[in-house]
Amino acid sequence: MSFPRTWTLLNNRFNFNRQLQFQFTRPTNLKKVILKQQQLRGIKSTNIQKMSTSTTTPEFKREQLESVLKRRFFYAPAFEIYGGVAGLYDYGPPGCALQANVIDAWRKHFVLEEDMLEVDTTMLTPYEVLKTSGHVDKFSDWMCRDLKTGEIFRADHLIEEVLEARLKGDKQARGHAIEEENPDEQDDKKKKRKKKVKEIKAVKLDDATVREYEIILAKIDGFSGADMANIIKTHNITNPATGGPLEPPIEFNLMFETAIGPSGQLKGYLRPETAQGQFLNFNKLLDFNNEKMPFASASIGKSFRNEISPRAGLLRVREFLMAEIEHFVDPEDKSHPGFVTVKDIKLTFLPKEVQQAGSTKVVETTIGEAVKSGMVDNETLGYFIARIFLFLTKIGVDPKRLRFRQHMANEMAHYAQDCWDAELQTSYGWIECVGCADRSAYDLTVHAARTKERLTVRQALPEPKVVEVLECDIEKKKFGPKFRKNAPKVEQWLLSRTECELEKLAKELETKLHITADIPDVGETEIPGDLVKISKKTKTEHVREFTPNVIEPSFGIGRILYSIFEHSFWTRPEDSARAVLSLPPLVAPTKVLLVPLSNNETLQPVLKKVKATLKSRQIPFKVDDSSASIGKRYARNDELGTPFGITIDFESIEDGSVTLRERDSTKQVRGSIDDVVEAILEVTYQGVSWAEGVKNLKPFESSNDE
Amino acid sequence: MSFPRTWTLLNNRFNFNRQLQFQFTRPTNLKKVILKQQQLRGIKSTNIQKMSTSTTTPEFKREQLESVLKRRFFYAPAFEIYGGVAGLYDYGPPGCALQANVIDAWRKHFVLEEDMLEVDTTMLTPYEVLKTSGHVDKFSDWMCRDLKTGEIFRADHLIEEVLEARLKGDKQARGHAIEEENPDEQDDKKKKRKKKVKEIKAVKLDDATVREYEIILAKIDGFSGADMANIIKTHNITNPATGGPLEPPIEFNLMFETAIGPSGQLKGYLRPETAQGQFLNFNKLLDFNNEKMPFASASIGKSFRNEISPRAGLLRVREFLMAEIEHFVDPEDKSHPGFVTVKDIKLTFLPKEVQQAGSTKVVETTIGEAVKSGMVDNETLGYFIARIFLFLTKIGVDPKRLRFRQHMANEMAHYAQDCWDAELQTSYGWIECVGCADRSAYDLTVHAARTKERLTVRQALPEPKVVEVLECDIEKKKFGPKFRKNAPKVEQWLLSRTECELEKLAKELETKLHITADIPDVGETEIPGDLVKISKKTKTEHVREFTPNVIEPSFGIGRILYSIFEHSFWTRPEDSARAVLSLPPLVAPTKVLLVPLSNNETLQPVLKKVKATLKSRQIPFKVDDSSASIGKRYARNDELGTPFGITIDFESIEDGSVTLRERDSTKQVRGSIDDVVEAILEVTYQGVSWAEGVKNLKPFESSNDE
């Protein structure tokens, strides 16, 4: 059985499941605000759908999954023998192999299949680059410090935690039950939980305060630092452990800073995303692609975020693997030649209008329809949404627990045109695992402006085009006497105005008969109308020059892996202690477990032959020749997600046949080594079903102890 | 033709080719010192072999290779549009694909083939871990600063540069020619070179000074900071650009520092190697391996070194990809079951005795003989040396330009038992690309001591063993009155002595009748003999506990890639402008170039069929349907290292046949699409030779313009 919902929430208190608790108590007219706000979070997650429908895995126990993942060393806290560091995890052998297989599948699905230009750019990034991209100024959270103890809190999380505890205390005082016992809990977990509960004081609040707290919680993501400082003061929010006063929130940039080179003067950061490295190489990539548009670059690599207080295992970490695509496209033509191949794929959408109307009712339709109706902005974006769906379901995501949620207008970056997140449903709620955004021309434009490097595409026009453009003529000889040493700077300033700026200046000239300009290194300057003339001229253009728009599918690999763990985990109905990870053969860490019936010498030649055959077909396998029973050996590998087992018994010596066992059904078939290995190869790498793959092998009744 | 040797040296002045220049002028009795010293460098490189034998690639032009690598975007300086950052490089599409293929080959060759436990551990590493490993204290170079200009120099490189310039000036003054014109140089290079030469003043030195300089240069790597401070003062070494005075050298740690978490108090570094993450997970890995020994872990990932002034392209960078293996082995049994499979492989060795005798004469022998004679310390080390050889030659290293150089006693870390570097010969000299060291039990021991976590293997003894051990009995009741509040600490100290320490204490008791001990938190304490008794007791042991030794093959992927570029680069004899990168098909970025003879619509169906067939066999390919001539299209892809080309012509429409072209020989054969793709598959992935792979295809006389 599963432990009660409330317990999970208590034990994993961070923003993306707080929603669930409060949804139960909040008045309905707050729903809209809540819905809107919860979409704005760093990790997007609306548990609402989960509440309204029954969960798809009623028997799922996170504790049990975590115990398997730890015991089988899929991953573990890094530096554990040194006490560990929050937000840093190491992948052990099965986790590492799974990750490598997912990356391999990603590379084949996107880079090779779509002819993308993969690059590997550095993680160390100088200050200037991230200043230009906006990360230095905007990539931050608010934190506040307890001056006495030195403890640091993420301001929004702290406010949430304290107000929620007070609301819970109020509930207790009003006589509502908030806790249930869970018989499955381990003792130390129980103790921790008890301690937590003890901290909640059963104090009744007046109704107006309850309401005020609820509004604050619903709006929490929209608050500025000053807003939060005000809340902390007004509502007397202190260090929950000591009651000590807190400093007002200050902004904390989430990038890891370091110094490059020995002088300490070249400030750098560890990149927060792989995207910037791709933008900076735009010209080289365009050249590599023989100037052909559209094209995509791609990059797989680690990125870093110095989270203030990371929790939730692999879902919020300080160092993580990303796979990002930057598809550069003509802003005037976002059609995609491959769209026709995916248009009939049916997907689950949560469009912005639905969310803005306070609902999470999903829309099931084909991507073709979604683009046609305008719900998804353009074909290229739609194409990638479909390709993301195909990739995720190929590597083990349950399509029923995958939805595409559109960003609402107020949660998108100002430059984004449209943005959809692939969200995966887990016990932590709906988790954003892939973002798919149309970033417009923002990044290339800011880097070009900063570096004076042209990051554009120039295309010969099929035929020359006559256009009217504004041009600025200056009375050069009057500039010297008027501006003296500043004359060249004023001239330069005038001559480097864009079309759009010239339009404004022309109007200014018309009305005021002079231009007032703030010129770098010169200051505010008045330029009289007799020195400058702005007029329309006709020009013949042979080339069209434009800054491409960027469509960016961005994958958080760790979050995807964790979701796959949840989606593929179950226990055998006949024995709830026997856990299985039903990872697809394609990504499973090991494909085959070889199990000799005994350590008898006579089995060795067959074992050797099976190993050689598997090696020659490059199928990863492991041998378990321990003395444990066959059933135990398979049970161990069910937890590792190994899809196939080959048993070598005494009959194998006589006729060279072996038994092939399938993990999920535990069904067995028998055949020659070559036929068995061929079946494994087809099912694993060629997308053939188990039934189809083994149709030439004989069913086999097990005499094993399964 | 090739540019004169001296020019290369001048233009690439850093330590690992300085040797070459001086070798010519140095008196022979210095040879021994030089040889010894040059082995101690960070990048090991003895050019002596190159000098004594004729070079293997007389026609090699580094300039031309670099131009191809840049033009084809194998790699480029990172952040180039922002002016670049020294020591940071981005890999473009072909470089990135080559790197991915090399990593894939590495994973198959080592991890899968040898059943290693691959882990992926974090780059961010807390201070304590690297303090324990020794990196905080010892991972550094000496630098000195010009206080006026703020310029920073790596002390040893600066001393070399200045003294070499003076020696060159002396040579000029004595009338020796040191420069030759090179007609191939580009103009800007020429200018730079001229400038450099101008700086050298033709000043004659007296003979004693010449000799003194030469001795300093030979010993440069052995100097301490104080030694170098002294040299700088004595020989008036100043900023070469300004003549300004320099501060004495200070130590500069080469790790990038950062702060983990918001408090700024958890100091961390970017890891300088992947090894530590593997050591820290030792217990989990041993458990994962069902407590079986020996076993190996492996890790592929970026590491970082904040070089003071990085030069030499990919050979000395600040962020680099490593692949490291930690093979944990019983210190009393370093045999290897796989050794028999490699023992007959013949390798080129440069053993320490040869180097210590002042020679670089290599020894050619089998690894079997090398281990048998004791030249290579043990079978496991020998096994890995052979496996490294097989790997490197598989991915494109020229076996004639690969040697295994043994570290001499004084260049090994104090804990290392034996160490061999796989060195690859390039135009920069012999470059250490893979290290293969027996690190003994050092790392596990220091981490265990620091964390109090047992990092050992416990093995049940086949039969219980009776051993004599020293034990310490104390007169507990006398401790209180004697030591008062310190009594527990004194007791604790006595009871936690090792066997070895007890032996010493027993002797002390015997002679002095008391023990004098320096006890933490207590200070020097005298313990009278009547309070303590140390005596031999017999004990029955059922378990043997030991700390494994570690054998560590460690690969610098960037250096290997650069060496492969040099080893596989050549120009067609009929046209020196036509460059070829003969990368092995296995690692080549793209395997096949598809070349439709024209853009005629009628060729499309065949092209589509070829593409589908290649995709179904997962063979990476590119299409070049540009209007360039077929010869030009192939020439472009020769530079990219693409091993095969498929031409689709009008005959293809009639009989479905296509032409297959091989890059190195430009030979062509013809056959059906299926047969041609099958041949490509076999030659690329199954180790089949070209001749064997195409034996069923018809030779084809080209009508192309090659």
H or E stretch at B541: strand B532-546
DSSP, res B627: S
- Using omega within 30 degrees of 0 as the cis cutoff, is the peptide bond preceding A294 cis? yes
Q: Which of A72, A76, A122 sits opposite B78 (nearest CB)?
A: A122
Min distance B241 CA to chain A CA atoms (Å): 18
CA distance B565 to A120: 18
Average pLDDT over chain A, rounded to whole? 85
Q: What is the distance in angstroms between the CA of the first residue and the CA of the last residue of chain A?
A: 23
Test B285 with A129 for CB contact under 8 angstroms. Answer: no
| Chain B residue closest in CA terms to A150 | B263
Cβ distance A113 to A391 under 8 Å? no
Residue A348 Cα to chain centre, angstroms: 18
**What's the pLDDT at B136?**
93
Average pLDDT over chain B, rounded to whole? 85
Is residue A91 over pLDDT 90? Answer: yes
* B266 contacts in chain A (CB < 8 Å): 85
For residues A383-393, give the mean pLDDT: 98
Six token digits for residue A417? 């045109």
Range in A105-114, A201-210, A292-301 the model is least confident about: A201-210
CA distance B444 to B29: 43
Beta strands across the sheet bearing A250-253:
A152-154, A140-145, A250-253
Q: Report helix, strand or coil for A302.
A: strand
* B121 contacts in chain A (CB < 8 Å): 78, 90-91
DSSP, res A395: T
* B150 contacts in chain A (CB < 8 Å): 263, 265
Range in B66-75, B150-159, B184-193, B673-682 the model is least confident about: B184-193
CA distance A38 to A51: 15
Min distance B151 CA to chain A CA atoms (Å): 8
Which residues, other chains included, contact B57 with Cβ-Cβ below 8 Å and sequence gap of 6+?
B566, B570
**What's the pLDDT at B702?**
66
Q: Which of A76, A121, A252 sits opposite B284 (nearest CB)?
A: A76
Residue A487 CB neighbours (<10 A)? 16
Strand partners, B299: B324
Is residue B46 over pLDDT 90? Answer: no
Which residues, other chains included, contact B419 with Cβ-Cβ below 8 Å and sequence gap of 6+?
B406, B407, B412, B435, B436, B437, B438
Catalogue the E-assigned strands of B146-279: 152-154, 250-253, 257-260, 266-270
What percent of chain B is modeled with pLDDT above 90?
Answer: 59
DSSP, res B417: S
- Using omega within 30 degrees of 0 as the cis cutoff, is the peptide bond preceding B399 cis? no
**What's the pLDDT at B44?**
35
Min distance A119 CA to chain B CA atoms (Å): 5
CA distance A417 to A419: 7
* A91 contacts in chain B (CB < 8 Å): 119-121
Is residue B191 over pLDDT 90? Answer: no
**What's the pLDDT at A355?**
85
**What's the pLDDT at A7?**
25
Give the residue from B390, B399, B397 showing the smallest Cα distance to B362: B399
Is residue B444 over pLDDT 80? Answer: yes
pLDDT in tens, B126-174: 999 999 999 999 898 899 999 888 888 999 889 988 998 999 999 888 8
* B128 contacts in chain A (CB < 8 Å): 82
Residue B194 CB neighbours (<10 A)? 10
**What's the pLDDT at A173?**
87
Q: Report helix, strand or coil for B141.
A: strand
CA distance B85 to B318: 10
Is residue A186 over pLDDT 80? Answer: no
Secondary-structure breakdown of chain B: helix, strand, coil percentages, each rounded to the nearest 5: 40, 25, 35
Test B306 with A262 for CB contact under 8 angstroms. Answer: yes
Secondary structure in 3-state letters for B24-79: CCCCHHHHHHHHHHHCCCCCCCCCHHHHHCCCCCCCCCHHHHHHHHHHCCCEEECC
Q: What are phi and psi of A130, to 5 degrees?
A: -85, -20
**What's the pLDDT at B184?**
41
Pairing of strands B644-648, B592-596: parallel
Instruction: Provide Rg for chain B, Cα atoms.
Output: 31
Is residue B189 over pLDDT 70? Answer: no
Cβ distance A317 to A86 under 8 Å? no
Helices (H) and strands (E) in chain B, counts: 28, 29
Indicate the length of chain A as a whole number.
Answer: 706
Q: Which of B81, B107, B318 sits opposite A124 (nearest CB)?
A: B318
CA dihedral A177, A183, A184, A187 (to 10 degrees): 90
Please tell me which residue, B559 or B175, carries the higher pLDDT value: B559
Strand partners, B535: B471
Mutate to test the interface with B, among A68, A71, A85, A274 (most CBs of B within 10 A): A85
Please tell me which residue, A308 or A121, carries the higher pLDDT value: A121
pLDDT in tens, A537-586: 888 989 999 999 999 999 999 999 999 999 999 999 988 889 999 999 99
Q: Which of A93, A122, A268 sits opposite B117 (nearest CB)?
A: A93
The domains of chain B, with CATH numbers, are 5-67+142-253 (3.30.40.230), 462-546 (3.30.720.200), 590-699 (3.40.50.800)
Which residues, other chains included, contact A401 with Cβ-Cβ below 8 Å and sequence gap of 6+?
A56, A424, A425, A426, A563, A567
